[in-house]
Chains A and B, each alone.
Chain A
C-alpha cells in the first residue's frame, strides 16, 4: 500500500449563486482519520462530495480550486472520473446497499473492473466482508438479499463494498448517524481498524465520535475552514474561540 493522501487547494464550491465552500485548503494523510465537523449547512458534506466529484451530478454545482492525489489534479477536466472514483470509496449517511444479494453487492465492483474468475471473486468477497467485520454474520447467507440485514450490518456491507474495489481513500458522510449505539460502536471500531490501510475522511455531527475516531479534525463554519489541528489539541485546547464555543456545545 502506497502512501496516498489527498490535498485540497483553494477549493470553492458554488450552487448557482450561493457559495457553499469558501476557498478551503486542507491536507489529508494516508493511514489517518480526519474528521470534518461543524453545524448543519456549514459545507462539510459538500466539501467531501467534491473530493470524488460526486457534486458533478448536481445540476448547477460548480467547483474551483485543485484537489491533488499524488501528482494528479482530480478536478481537471481531463481526469477520468470513473477511474478516479475507483480510487476513492464512499459511504453514505443512510446505508444504501444495492437491491441485490450480499455477494453481488460486493462482487459487482470488482467484476466490473475486470475480475471474472469466480474463485478470485469469492476471495475478494470473503476478504472484504472480513475486513468489515461482517463475515461471521453473513457467510451462511451470502446469496440472500442484502436488504434483509439490519441497518448496522447494511452499513458495514456498504463499507465492505467500497473496499472491495481497493481504494486508497474512503470518504464517509456521517456513516453512523442513522444507526443505534451498538452499531455505531461497531462502525467506529471498524474505522480504527481500516485506518491502518486507508486514508479516511469522515464527516460527523457527533463531536464525541470525532474525538474518538479521528487523528486530526477540521472545523467548518459557514463554508469556511475555521480551525484544523490534531484532534486531541482541538478538543482540549482549541486556538479559536468559535471552535471552542462549538465544541463545548454553545451553538450548533
Chain B
C-alpha cells in the first residue's frame, strides 16, 4: 500500500474511535440526565428521604456528599501537596525514593472496597471513630492521596528548570522558591488533579459503605453547632452520601417511587460533578492569572 493510503486509513480509524468515545459519553450523559431530570425539583433536592412512602427527597444526602468532599479535601490537599513537594524537590534519587514511589503506585491501584474494609477495621473500629463522616473522609484520603501526590509531583516537574534557578540565583531560599515561583506555575496541573480527586470522592460508594455508613440521622439544618449530634456540621455522625443512597435504593429501596428517586439522584450526581469541574477549571484559571498576572 502507498504510504498516503495508509495515512488516510490510520487517520480514519483514529477519527472513528474518537467519534465513538464522544458518542458513548454523550449518550450516557443524556440518558442519565433525561431519565432523571423530570424528577428534580426544589422539594426533591431539599427534603429528607422516605422509607415507605412516595415523595422522598435527597436533601441530607446531597449535603453529606458536599460536606464529605470538603472534609476529605481538607485532609488530602495538605498531605498530598506536602508529599508531592517532598518527592519532587527534596527526595534524593535512590532505593528509598523508588520504594516510596512504588508504594504510592500500589496504593492507587487498590480496589475501593478493600480501602473501605481497611477503613472499617482501622478508622471505625481501632480508632473508634465509628461510622462517621470523619472515617469516610480518612478512607477517601487513603484512596485519593496517591493521585494528589503524583499530580503535585508532575506539576512541579513541569516547571522549567530555568525558572527555579532564576529564583535561587537571586538568593531566594528553596522553600520560598517552591511556594512563590514553582507552585503558582504548577497550579493548573495541580488543580486538574484536585478536580479528578474530587470527582472520585463524589462518585465513590464502595469505600464509604463501611466507613461513613448507610444511614443518616435526622438532621436539624438550623443547628450549626458542629459538636451536636443532630447538627449537619458534626463530622462524627454517620452520613449516607448521594452515591451510597443511589446504590441503596436501587438494591433495597421499598418506596414505590424508588426507581424515579434513583434516576433523579443519579442525574443530580452527574450534574454536580460536571458543574464542579467547570467551576474548578474557571477558578484555576483565575488563580493562575492572579499569581502570574498574565492575561
Same complex for A and B? Answer yes
1/0 per position for A53-83, CB-CB distance to B under 8 A? 0100101000000000000000000000011
Return the chain B residue nearest A86 by Cβ: B171
A101 to B290, CA, bound (A): 10
Determine if A85 is an interface residue (Cβ-Cβ < 8 Å): yes
Are A85 and B293 within 8 A (Cβ)? no
Return the chain A residue nearest B166 by Cβ: A96
A52 to B162, CA, bound (A): 15
1/0 per position for B169-186, CB-CB distance to A under 8 A? 111110010001100110
The interface of chain B, by Cβ under 8 A from chain A, is 92-93, 160-173, 176, 180-181, 184-185, 291-295
The interface of chain A, by Cβ under 8 A from chain B, is 52, 54, 57, 59, 82-90, 92, 94, 96-101, 104, 108-109, 112-113, 143-145, 147-148, 158, 161-162, 165
Are B93 and A109 within 8 A (Cβ)? no
Return the chain A residue nearest B93 by Cβ: A59
Are A162 and B292 within 8 A (Cβ)? no
Given that A85-B170, A145-B292, A161-B170 are contacting pairs, would A99 and B165 also be in contact in the complex, using a CB cutoff of 8 Å?
Answer: no
Interface core residue of A86, A90, A96, A104 (most chain B CB under 10 Å):
A96
A83 to B292, CA, bound (A): 26
Query: What are 12 sample pairs from A and B whose C-beta atoms fall under 8 A apart?
Result: A54-B165, A85-B170, A87-B171, A94-B162, A98-B163, A98-B166, A99-B292, A109-B171, A109-B172, A144-B295, A145-B295, A165-B171
Given that A98-B181, A99-B185 are contacting pairs, would A108 and B170 also be in contact in the complex, using a CB cutoff of 8 Å?
Answer: yes
Return the chain A residue nearest B162 by Cβ: A96
A86 to B172, CA, bound (A): 8
Given that A54-B165, A57-B165, A108-B180 are contacting pairs, would A99 and B294 also be in contact in the complex, using a CB cutoff of 8 Å?
Answer: yes
Contacts of B184 in A (CB 8 A): 99
Return the chain A residue nearest B185 by Cβ: A99
Contacts of B169 in A (CB 8 A): 52, 54, 85, 88-90, 162
A96 to B166, CA, bound (A): 7
- Shortest CB-to-CB span from B92 to chain A, Å, is 8
Are B295 and A83 within 8 A (Cβ)? no
Known: A84-B171, A98-B181, A112-B176. 19 other contacts (CB 8 A): A54-B165, A57-B161, A89-B169, A89-B170, A90-B169, A92-B162, A92-B166, A96-B165, A98-B166, A99-B163, A99-B291, A99-B294, A101-B293, A104-B293, A108-B172, A145-B293, A145-B294, A148-B294, A161-B166
